Amino acid sequence: MVTVLITAIYVILAIAGLLTLWRIVFGPSILDRAVASDVLLTLVMCALGADMVINHHTGSLPALLVIASVGVFGSIAIARFVARRDNSNR
């Protein structure tokens, strides 16, 4: 039963990752791609968190912190870029 649950978790995360990559590649705007990249980082964090729970370890915790900070700083950078671009068009 537990093996089926673990497999289902990884399959769902893999499908969500593929759909997110599709949006990153074929997104109509830069904001769609930015949101999709945040979602992809969140999916990676969820996969690492699930691995930590399943295997009873905390070795991936530093990686989770780095991924979270990269996601926040990336979102801020993209928001500033889009805001600056919008101001220059006026």
The pLDDT score that the predictor gives to residue 83 is 81
Q: Is the pLDDT score of 2 beyond 90?
A: no
The pLDDT-based confidence of 29 (bands split at 50, 70, 90) is confident
Q: Is the pLDDT score of 52 beyond 90?
A: yes
Q: Is the pLDDT score of 78 beyond 80?
A: yes
Prediction pTM value: 0.84
The pLDDT score that the predictor gives to residue 27 is 86
Fold for 2-88, please state it.
Answer: Helix Hairpins (1.10.287)
3-state secondary structure 40-59: HHHHHHHHHHHHHHHHCCCC
The pLDDT score that the predictor gives to residue 90 is 64
Q: Which are the contacts of 13, defined by CB distance < 8 A and separation ≥ 6?
A: 43, 46, 47, 50
Q: Is the pLDDT score of 84 beyond 90?
A: no
The residues spanned by each domain of the chain are 2-88
